[in-house]
Amino acid sequence: MADFSNKITLITGGGCGLGRLMALKMAARGSHIVLWDINDQGLNLVEKEIAGNGNKVNTYLCDVSDREMVYSTAEKVREEVGKVDILINNAGVVSGRPFLECTDNQLRRTMEVNALAHFWTVKAFLPDMISSNKGHIVTVASAGGIVGSAGLVDYSASKFAAFGFDEALRSELKKQRLNIQTTVVCPYFIKGEMFAGVKTRFSFLLPILDAANVAERIVNGIARKKRRVIMPPMVYSTWLVRLLPVDIYDWVVTLLGVNNAMDEFHGRQG
The secondary element (H helix, E strand) that includes residue 188 is none
pLDDT band at 2, cuts 50/70/90?
A: confident
**What's the whole-number mean pLDDT along residues 185-190?**
96
Please, what's the b/e burial string for 226-264 (b: 16 or more CB within 10 A of its CB; e: otherwise)?
bebbbbeebbeebeeeeeeeeeeeeeebeebbbbbbbee
Residue 114's φ and ψ, nearest 5 degrees, are -85, -20
pLDDT of 123-138, one tens digit each? 999 999 999 999 999 9
pLDDT at 1: 55
pLDDT at residue 3 is higher than 60: yes
ω before 233 within 30° of 0 (cis)?
no
Delimit the domains of the chain by residue range.
Answer: 8-260
Q: Torsion-angle region of residue 172: left (phi > 0), alpha (psi -120 to 50) or beta?
A: alpha
Mean pLDDT (the chain) is 95
Residue 138's φ and ψ, nearest 5 degrees, are -110, 125
Which of the residues are catalytic? Answer: 155
Cα gap 148→174, rounded to integer Å: 29
pLDDT at 192: 86
pLDDT band at 270, cuts 50/70/90?
A: very low
pLDDT at residue 268 is higher than 70: no
Please, what's the b/e burial string for 134-145 (b: 16 or more CB within 10 A of its CB; e: otherwise)?
ebbbbbbbbbbb
pLDDT of 196-237, one tens digit each? 989 999 999 999 999 999 999 999 999 999 999 999 999 999
pLDDT of 64-105, one tens digit each? 999 999 999 999 999 999 999 999 999 999 999 999 999 999
pLDDT at residue 163 is higher than 70: yes
DSSP 56-106: -EEEEE--TT-HHHHHHHHHHHHHHT---SEEEE-------S-GGGS-HHH
CATH tag, 8-260? 3.40.50.720
Cα gap 196→173, rounded to integer Å: 37
Q: How many CB atoms neighbour CB 48 within 10 A?
A: 11
pLDDT band at 266, cuts 50/70/90?
A: confident
Has this prediction a pTM greater than 0.85? Answer: yes
